[in-house]
Structure 1
């Protein structure tokens, strides 16, 4: 069966470009490139990946697209462009010439303004994505879910995907108000969700697969098996577990072959037009 890892990162480590990698994240302070990942995905039975931006520069987008040209197993790239720029339509036209350029992400979780998603200049940029058949990855914390709801309501025909289940408080086994708010967001059928990044929201040293079941239950009840996809968040996941430890969490949760086919491959293929 084909399997797609719908969320991971590559980088050539730079203390400036990757200033978010603090001392406690020491394992991430090195280059992570295709040759490091390809062996891991093959051992776990994955046939392709979606590479997602980790720095907010066009150079990052160029870097990922260059890797995608050289590596067949990279099926798509979610890059970064300045959606608030006056010339954003020109930049989108330029990058969509590359067949593996599939979508945009902005690191909204790090913005000091909790209402960032609703800024007029940002909304103007988001509006342009539909003209180029591009997706948008929503990277937020639980505190942003109400704002995200207002955001997606403005674009009923756009393709959105929540990254990392919006990072619920798994370590503390806190489920509300995250449960109610993400369930409300899931009522919009153009919104998908990635079952990714869970181990780093749990206890890094002591997580168990059953820690994630309450959150997976909510996600499946809210989105159904047709709007969920799985992702490793490699190499960030290495803070709490290796690739072969992380990917089985979702795989072993899935109840039947139909849901496995959808969540492990087909939903990502359809969403990103891989």
Structure 2
């Protein structure tokens, strides 16, 4: 069983989705469940987790509607204002949606110190009461801050998205590797092996480019805290779904069958508490 722990849907809006720059023309259009289902089927993927791409309440509602109408969407990571005074009541309302598994904020776009703000930390801490998770989306220079953040909230289940976006294009690994190892020391933090192709030379990468980064991730987190994520459709700027998935399956071919199953699906099911029936 393979589970894609990280993908997105959107109805393209040029103003809202300004992060999709002109050189990403291939994804400047709508991407909906009907577009993904045949791709998952062709790649023998049993289900997926839809992750927020916009920061609004309507984004979370949109993803929940997608999940309600499509059984292959096993979980949703939405957005909520984690600094809101009425957060607890809103989380209580959201807890009725079985497929809503957690939340994410685009911290990579925030200034230094954002994760450690008392209001933000207090909000993330409230996720525990409803068994919600938190996805950490940062750049590699924010890893030390993320480690402090996760250490102060030991009861929250965290997952690092996209390996904190290492500079694969330039082969820079030393500083990133140190940050990854520090974060991985915290047992409440998992990591998604996702978003790698877009950090490499688009359409010019080779599978060998990713091996040093995967080696560090496995050494730091072990195969029981890593999970496959395609980052579809963002990955399409640099690779088709099959190519993005193949980087990881080829790498994992030297591991045991049990370890491969963990990374390719089992860990995502456990972390997000996905209902596979």
The verdict on a shared fold, with TM-score over 0.5 as the criterion, is yes
Name the SS of the counterpart of 1:247 in structure 2: helix
Q: Tell me whether 1:266 sits opposite 2:242 in the alignment.
A: no
Looking at structure 1, the residues matched to 143 and 150 of structure 2 have their Cα atoms a distance apart, in angstroms, of: 10
Deviations 1:51-96 (A, max 9, x none): 0000000100000000000000000000000001110111111111
Which whole-Å deviations, capped at 9, do the CAs of 1:15-58 have from their partners, x for residues lacking one? 12212112111111100001111111111110000000000001
Structure 2 partner of 1:42:
41
Tell me which residue corresponds to 1:188. Answer: 186
Please state if 1:87 is matched with 2:86: yes
* Counterpart position of 1:209: 207
Find runs of 4+ consecutive structure 1 residues off by over 2 angstroms.
none
**Which secondary structure does the structure 2 equivalent of 1:177 belong to?**
helix
Mapped to 2, the partners of 1:95 and 1:21 lie a distance apart of: 29
Query: Gaps spanning 5+ residues in structure 1: where?
Result: none
| Aligned residue in 2 for 1:199 | 197
Map of 1:53 onto structure 2? 52
The residue number in structure 1 matching 2:244 is: 246
RMSD: 0.7
TM-score (norm 1): 0.98
CA distance in 2, matches of 1:22, 1:203: 16
Q: 2:5 aligns to what SS in structure 1?
A: strand
**Equivalent pairs, count:** 272
Corresponding residue for residue 67 of structure 1:
66
Pairing of 1:112-151 with structure 2 (within 5 A): 113-151=111-149
- Aligned-partner Cα distance in 2 for 1:24–1:88: 38
Q: 1:245 deviation in Å?
A: 1.0
Moved more, 201-210 or 13-22: 13-22
Instruction: Give the whole-Å Cα distance in 2 for the aligned partners of 1:87 and 1:251.
Output: 43
Q: CA deviation at 1:181?
A: 1.1
Q: Where does residue 6 of structure 1 map in the other structure?
A: 5
Q: What TM-score comes out, normalization by structure 2 length? A: 0.97
2:104 is matched with 105
Residue matched to 2:226: 228
In the TM superposition, residue 205 of structure 1 has moved relative to its aligned partner by 2.2
| SS of 1:45 mapped into structure 2 | coil
CA distance in structure 1 between the partners assigned to 2:184 and 2:95 by the alignment: 28
1:165 and 1:226 map into 2 onto residues whose CA distance is 15
